[in-house]
Amino acid sequence: MKTKNLVLTALFIALGIVLPIAFHVVPNGGVLFSPMHIPVLVCGLVTGPIEGLICGIVTPALSSALTGMPPAPRLPGMMVELAVYGLVGGLMMRLLKDNKNFGKIYLALIVTMLCGRIAGGLVNALILNAGNYTLKMWLTGYFLNGLPGIIAHLILVPLIVRALQKAKLSVN
């Protein structure tokens, strides 16, 4: 891991802990906007799959230990979801040619977000809530209730990624 990637990954982990604290000032702000997801998504897209994976695992675990967010019952599903975000985001950016194009960044982001939500849902369905987790619960929890966050991520993440690319801070 290059020094630049190490520093960026640490920065994204720190942001993943601090942003939710700020959003929890708004009632249900953390649940509605999923602010921890933003730095993990950006990390995977700009630093690569390994760094993104590390960021996706460490951020929710460290945040839970330090702040209690996410709460312990939600932690395993969120760790898997965010780990997949980091990993798939990094892989998608490596697979795409001309990944400085906004269309390609959006494609990578959408695929990444879908994969993470599927992985998080599978953890809930097969392990955490085995036999009690329905498709309706998954769609409601990961898409309907998360719609403000999805919209925010689709607006903010590509802009942040493109800004980091222009600043030559992206390795992907």
Q: Which CATH number fits domain 3-166: 3.40.50.970, 1.10.1380.10, 2.40.30.10, 1.10.1760.20?
A: 1.10.1760.20
Higher pLDDT, 38 or 26: 38
| pLDDT, tens digit, 9 for 90 and up, residues 160-169 | 999 999 999 9
| pLDDT, tens digit, 9 for 90 and up, residues 115-161 | 999 999 999 888 878 788 888 988 898 898 889 999 999 999 999 99
Higher pLDDT, 100 or 103: 103
Query: According to the model, what pLDDT value does residue 24 have?
Result: 81
Contact status, residue 13 vs residue 62, Cβ threshold 8 Å: yes
Q: Could you give the CA distance from residue 92 to residue 162 in angstroms, rounded to a whole number?
A: 15
Q: Which long-range contacts (CB under 8 A, 24 or more apart) does 26-35 make?
A: 30/69, 31/145, 32/145, 32/146, 32/148, 32/149, 33/148, 33/149, 33/152, 34/146, 34/149, 34/152, 34/153, 35/149
